[in-house]
Amino acid sequence: MGYSLENWAVDRLELLRIYAYGLCMGTADALPGVSGGTVALLLGFYGRLIAAITALTPGRALDVLRGYRPARRDRAREALLEMDLQFLLPLGVGMATAVALIAGSVSALAESHPVALFGFFTGLIGASAVVLFRSLPFSSAQHAVAAATGTAVAALVASGVIELPGSGAVLILLSGALAVSAMILPGISGSLILILLGQYVFLSGELTAFLSSIGSLVSGAGSLEAVVEPGTTVVLFLLGGFAGLVTIARVVRRALDRRREVTLLFLVGLIAGSVPAPLHNIGETHAWTADVVGLTVAWAVVGVVVLYGLDRLAGGFDPE
């Protein structure tokens, strides 16, 4: 009996530890310029994360669903262990908790202090590009081309020269696929992708509205109709995210395995090209007067200082 209680206590501590990892990773991914994948590397669980995500296959999911049959139960247990759900579930809950908390703050600040918020994000993104580029080699023309291509693609998307296909539900699905895939890559932030696509503020607001409407419904002060619209957006984003994990993330991981330096330079180039993206949010609500420019630069400097501070505390960000 004592042994069982001891094991139970150890399991609870392990779950809390993984949940805390999720909080750290989710906080990083909710802020553009800070990467959840890099946090996973720094905390030492990146290898386990990639192995667990790679194990999420339709075949194993079917094995689990067929576990109600006595003859299939052993295989269902094996599939659950292979997918490492005892790790992914508390990690995912921790990430979701952090993202939900930050989304509410972002929605409020985007309305009340857009210059401060997006100026800060601009500094974070720019400084992270410098920090990551500094850790990568530029020893060949191929390296330079990879970095320049990533920068150009992101800059063209941010400026609206290149427009992604679809709108509405299609764009939400695509945003989910790209952002969630980016969340597990070192150096790239899911929120950065959403800013680049112009969906960051919208999706933060939808998540906040969904959670608020759920709370009102539970307390008896809300209605089911108020849950449906933001809830549909959240579900579409999650469906896109799952699709991205089992497709896009695998493709990028394969590219990293085969041509690591070139792929990393392209990915960091995407960060560099995204630097102007937050400025479009400021331009939507403010004319570019001298005061607005000055405030934007001041908050960008704050973002740079914060990112370099994190870099020093972590002993240097390493995209590897």
For residue 25, give the nearest of 188, 235, 176 by alpha carbon: 188
What the block records as the tokens of 268 is 């960091």
Express each pLDDT in 5-31 by its tens digit. 455 455 788 889 999 999 988 888 888
Give the C-alpha separation, 306 to 139, whole Å: 30
CA distances from 36 to 10, 31, 91, 182 (A): 26, 9, 12, 9
Residue 315 predicted with pLDDT over 70: no
Contact indicator for 267, 196 with CB cutoff of 8 Å: no
In DSSP notation, 33-77 reads TS-HHHHHHHHT-HHHHHHHHHT--HHHHHHHHGGGSGGGHHHHH
Express each pLDDT in 204-222 by its tens digit. 989 999 999 998 888 887 7
Specify the pTM.
0.78
Confidence of residue 165 (pLDDT cuts 50, 70, 90): low
Give the C-alpha separation, 50 to 44, whole Å: 12
Contact indicator for 102, 31 with CB cutoff of 8 Å: yes
Average pLDDT (273-280) is 89
Average pLDDT, the chain: 84
Residues in the chain: 320
CA distances from 304 to 132, 234, 273 (A): 13, 31, 16
Express each pLDDT in 32-73 by its tens digit. 877 787 778 767 788 788 888 888 777 888 888 887 777 777
Residue 308 DSSP SS3: helix
Domain ranges of the chain: 5-314
Total Cβ atoms within 10 A of residue 299? 21
The pLDDT of residue 18 is 92
